[in-house]
Amino acid sequence: MSTATGKIISITSAFMCFLHYLGFYSNGYSHGALQEQIMEVTKEIEQDSTDALLYLKRGELYRYHRDWDLALSDFDLASRLDANLDIVVLGRGKTLFEAGWYERAKPVLDHFLLKSPNHIEGLLTRARVLRHLGQNLAAAVDYTQALAGSHEPRPEHYIERAQAIITEGREYWPAAISGLDEGLEKLGQIVTLQLLAIDLEVKLKQYDGAIARIAQVESQSPRKEKWLLRRGQILTAAGRLGKAQACYGEALSRIETLTSRKRNLQSTLRLEGEIRAALAEVVRRRSMETKNG
Amino acid sequence: MVDHRRFTTLALVFLALFTQVAFAQRVTRGPYLQVGTDHSIIVRWQTDKVTDSRVSYGTLKSSLSLTANDSEQTKEHIVRVGGLSPDTRYFYSVGSSSTVLAGGDDAHFFLTSPTPGTSKPTRIWILGDSGTADNKARAVRDAYYQFTGNRHTDLWLMLGDNAYSKGSVSEYQKAVFEDMYEAMLIKSSLWPTLGNHDDGTSSSPGPYPYYDIFTLPKSGEAGGMPSGTEAYYAFDYGNIHFICLNSSTRNLRGETSAMWTWLDEDLASNDKDWTIAFWHHPPYTKGSHDSDKESELLDMRERAVPRLEASGVDLVLGGHSHSYERSFLLDSHYGKSGSLSDSHILDGGDGRDGGDGAYEKQTLGPAAHEGAVYLVNGSSGKTSGGSLDHPVMVTSMNELGSLVLDIDDNRLDATFLDDRGDVRDTFTVIKGSTTPRDPATQLVLVSGDGQSGPVGSTLPQPFVVEVRDQNNRPVGSVAVTFRITRGDATLSSSTSVTGANGRASTVLTFGSETGEHTVTASVSGLAGSPVTFHSDALQENDPPPAPPVNVRIQVAGE
């Protein structure tokens, strides 16, 4: 890079920083430590305006500070200084995504993933972009690839993938459930994944599947009464009123065995009230059924 | 000949020494303790050379006859020691199947947690933003060591920014493991949370060293609901439930994040006497950060705090601002500092036994909206000033220090200790020992009766009842059951628990049926129960409904 280009970059950078200092780019997300870091990197850039990594670093800080234009400007400068610094493209893609400019983000991330097809953060970011663009199945493919390559996948990513698939319509819900089961196998019995799976099973009227899942969550919860209530509700929805009544009865028996202190906790009182109301409703429905023959 | 023999002997001795020096293993990090429970603990250490792993342990220092082994050849040794007895002291050493590298002395021991749910006097040490790796952090550390003396620290928390400035491996080494907290690491389980400097808001993608350095419970192995991730987790210690949230990772703070679903379920399962939550970005601060302006702090106040208060949190700990700030007993303040009103401050005293008196909470165990104390404890490594004038705070100071919690049964004592060892703030919370309330005797209709509206609509006012005692004082924590006894409609909730004002309510939405609807509110055994609410569902083209009529029944003595 020529000295003249370096000077131009340095002046541009100082000007941007000055504007920032004056508050022209204020976005309501004040962050003292970030501003300090930005100022520090700016000083470093003043010392060496040819270091692409410094612009990359400041671009990331601007992105975190939600100063989208400043972030993009720094990523552009970093690219000009080092065309081989591919990670800059990801930074640009993430910035465009976070700014809500999804149409612009997608080709940038496509470009990045062409060179780094298994980059987990790149895949996750593009998956999120695709969801915003309504391309849910394509998003699911990216999520799947990211999850497969991730050493320690997170529950959030399984949930995001399931939500992308669910959006595509009821016929895809079994696939969403399978995806959640994959997560449960990998991460263990996590309530966040099970709750979504239970919800889907109930909506699909797969009551036995839902009840089996409740049993799994119940086994690891110290407050089994809550899950007995949920199981009773599913049995009620399935029309198995006798079993639902037994379930509510068991929940109430469990509450009665609690110590007086635990029994008088607000959460227990509330739960007991809900169980009694559900039980009364089941009893009413059963007696109506008997009356109607 | 003699010379030749001497030469050979010398060569062998030299070779033996050289071999020993060249192949000797050395512990380069730790040992340190993680995920301590009533029946297990994880012992970690790092060596400069790969080897298998062995922890030898026993209740007598002279007889470490039990072993936990891992045959994997590694430099990062992570050994789970299981089958332990609750509330028991074990001595230990670490090394390989052939060598002991550290431990086997008085300093290397761990004390298992008491049986979950049981009460035991517990001391907790809390550091925030301690990662400066300098003499300021060491002064704070030494002040605590001096303060606690021989009193064992049962567990300790780090509130984030544990290693400046990017949380790299080498920074962690200096800020935590080398010439820093070794004496504590070898005998007490450390439970950290992630700060903004630990995840490096940097350009480096991928997992951060934080997740490699620490082992945290993600399968509910230490109590609480499994989170499936080390990013947020829960654990129990005796009668205390701890919740660690992640405020640094933006995706996790989002409104629909799985972290909130997990938190709701974890709180619903909690029945411990005390609930303590911690994360890095505090919901209330006017220190070097401002909770009126910064997104992380706003998000956590608006999303975490209402959930926690509805489930009876007692104490919320944060760092980020490099100061110490401590609140009144607070509830339901989710807006900016300017929106604070008297109704948010449940006890505006200083919470000190020798001052305005301890903060008192009626229920021992989780009970909604009985108040929580909020602390910023981010000055364990440096101070950075700020206006320090948040109106929820009893005290705010720009002082280096750390926090000490002592919890014994229904009493919590908190002490802020500065870097010189001076006590700069104390407060006490007592639960479940306040004046016993009189039993509920009557159920009274307060408002909502006589409303009407079009079919399919939701009535504008809730049906409200109040539970009172014999002296007409409101009684909280009573479950009121609402039931539709005539008509086609739905209720927002069929059970509502009375709040501190004794009131419970529900909202009715008409179905497609016109005509009179009735809803009863009942609490068995109370005078006045059931209370009946009447309402009328009109055809959509009927004349607009008359304004709702509120009925308040006068009760003798009111």
B252-270: per-residue pLDDT in tens? 888 888 999 999 999 988 9
| Averaged pLDDT for residues B54-70 | 96
pLDDT at B8: 64
Which tokens is B169 given? Answer: 């491996």
Contacts of A54 in chain B (CB under 8 A): none
pLDDT at B501: 65
Asked whether the beta carbons of B231 and B249 are under 8 A apart, the reply is yes
What rounded mean pLDDT belongs to chain A?
88
Question: What pLDDT band is residue B20 in, cutting at 50, 70 and 90?
Answer: very low
pLDDT at B9: 62
| Averaged pLDDT for residues B484-503 | 82
Does position A31 have pLDDT exceeding 70, yes or no?
Answer: no
Q: Is residue A241 part of a domain?
A: yes
Q: Is residue A273 part of a domain?
A: yes
How far is A110 from A133, CA to CA, in rounded Å?
14
A273–B494 C-beta distance less than 8 A: yes
pLDDT at B500: 61
Does position B552 have pLDDT exceeding 80, yes or no?
Answer: no
Shortest CA distance from A269: residue in chain B: B479
Contacts of B480 in chain A (CB under 8 A): 273
What percent of chain B has pLDDT above 90? 72
pLDDT at A23: 36
Count other C-beta atoms under 10 Å from residue A95's C-beta: 27
pLDDT at B252: 86
Question: What pLDDT band is residue B68 in, cutting at 50, 70 and 90?
Answer: very high
| Averaged pLDDT for residues B14-24 | 51
Does position B205 have pLDDT exceeding 70, yes or no?
Answer: no
Does position B46 have pLDDT exceeding 80, yes or no?
Answer: yes
Best of B76, B199, B201 to disrupt the A interface (most A CBs within 10 Å) is B201
Does position B520 have pLDDT exceeding 60, yes or no?
Answer: yes
Contacts of A85 in chain B (CB under 8 A): none
Q: Is residue A141 part of a domain?
A: no
Question: What pLDDT band is residue B23 in, cutting at 50, 70 and 90?
Answer: low
pLDDT at B121: 95
A189–B226 C-beta distance less than 8 A: yes
B226–A33 C-beta distance less than 8 A: no
Q: Is residue A153 part of a domain?
A: no
What percent of chain B has pLDDT above 70? 90
pLDDT at B198: 85
pLDDT at B460: 84
Of B219, B432, B494, the CB nearest to A188: B219
**Higher pLDDT among residues A279 and B475, named by residue:** A279
How far is A169 from A281, CA to CA, in rounded Å?
33
pLDDT at A55: 95
| Averaged pLDDT for residues A152-164 | 94
Does position B555 have pLDDT exceeding 50, yes or no?
Answer: no
Question: What pLDDT band is residue A18 in, cutting at 50, 70 and 90?
Answer: very low
Distance from CA of B232 to the nearest CA of A (A): 11
For the ranges A108-122, B46-60, B124-138, B430-444, the lowest mean pLDDT is seen at: B430-444
Distance from CA of B213 to the nearest CA of A (A): 14
Q: Is A47 exposed, middle or buried (0-12, 13-18, 19+ CB in 10 A)?
A: exposed
Q: Is residue A1 part of a domain?
A: yes
Distance from CA of A208 to the nearest CA of B (A): 22
Asked whether the beta carbons of A43 and A57 are under 8 A apart, the reply is no
Q: Is residue A260 part of a domain?
A: yes
How far is A173 from B96, CA to CA, in rounded Å?
50
Of A30, A187, A226, the CB nearest to B290: A30
Question: What pLDDT band is residue B557 in, cutting at 50, 70 and 90?
Answer: very low
Question: What pLDDT band is residue B189 in, cutting at 50, 70 and 90?
Answer: very high
Domains and CATH numbers, chain B: 2-111 (2.60.40.10), 122-431 (3.60.21.10), 440-538 (2.60.40.10)
How far is B256 from B303, CA to CA, in rounded Å?
10
Contacts of A221 in chain B (CB under 8 A): 225, 269
| Averaged pLDDT for residues A210-226 | 90
Interhelix angle A68-81/A3-22, rounded to 10 degrees, is 170
What rounded mean pLDDT belongs to chain B?
89
Count other C-beta atoms under 10 Å from residue A29's C-beta: 15
Structural domain of A1:
1-85
ipTM comes to 0.77
What percent of chain A has pLDDT above 70? 88
Spatial CA neighbour of B441 closest among B464, B468, B473:
B468
Contacts of A226 in chain B (CB under 8 A): 268-269
Does position B274 have pLDDT exceeding 50, yes or no?
Answer: yes
Q: Of A35, A52, A85, which residue sits at a domain end?
A: A85
Q: Is residue A216 part of a domain?
A: no
pLDDT at A21: 39
Give the helix/strand (H/E) hosting A254: helix A241-257
Q: Of A85, A105, A126, which residue sits at a domain end?
A: A85
How far is B381 from B198, CA to CA, in rounded Å?
14
How far is B262 from A196, CA to CA, in rounded Å?
12
Does position B200 have pLDDT exceeding 90, yes or no?
Answer: no
Contacts of A273 in chain B (CB under 8 A): 479-481, 494-497
| Averaged pLDDT for residues A187-199 | 94
> What is the number of CB-based contacts under 8 A between chain A and chain B?
150
Asked whether the beta carbons of B75 and B46 are under 8 A apart, the reply is yes
Asked whether the beta carbons of B238 and A168 are under 8 A apart, the reply is no
B481–A273 C-beta distance less than 8 A: yes
pLDDT at B350: 95
A64–B226 C-beta distance less than 8 A: no
| Averaged pLDDT for residues A180-187 | 95
pTM for this structure? 0.78
| Averaged pLDDT for residues A258-273 | 81
Question: What pLDDT band is residue A1 in, cutting at 50, 70 and 90?
Answer: very low
Does position A191 have pLDDT exceeding 80, yes or no?
Answer: yes
Q: Is residue A78 part of a domain?
A: yes
Contacts of A283 in chain B (CB under 8 A): none
Of B220, B228, B364, the CB nearest to A220: B220
Quickly tell me which residue has 């809730």 as its tokens: B462
What percent of chain A has pLDDT above 90? 72
| Averaged pLDDT for residues A175-193 | 95
pLDDT at B558: 28
| Averaged pLDDT for residues B506-511 | 90
Does position B16 have pLDDT exceeding 60, yes or no?
Answer: no
Q: Of A31, A61, A85, which residue sits at a domain end?
A: A85
How far is A8 from B188, CA to CA, in rounded Å?
56
Shortest CA distance from B161: residue in chain A: A33
pLDDT (tens digit, 9 = 90+) per residue, B291-304?
A: 999 889 999 999 99
φ/ψ of residue B51, rounded to 5: -160, 170
Question: What pLDDT band is residue B288 in, cutting at 50, 70 and 90?
Answer: very high
**Higher pLDDT among residues B165 and B552, named by residue:** B165
Total number of domains in chain A: 2
What's the CATH code of the domain at A1?
A: 1.25.40.10
Spatial CA neighbour of B122 closest among B36, B246, B238:
B238
Contacts of A192 in chain B (CB under 8 A): 227-228, 258, 261-262, 265
Question: What pLDDT band is residue B37 in, cutting at 50, 70 and 90?
Answer: very high
pLDDT (tens digit, 9 = 90+) per residue, B153-164?
A: 999 999 999 999
pLDDT (tens digit, 9 = 90+) per residue, B381-410?
A: 999 999 999 999 999 999 999 999 999 999
Spatial CA neighbour of A269 closest among B364, B432, B497:
B497
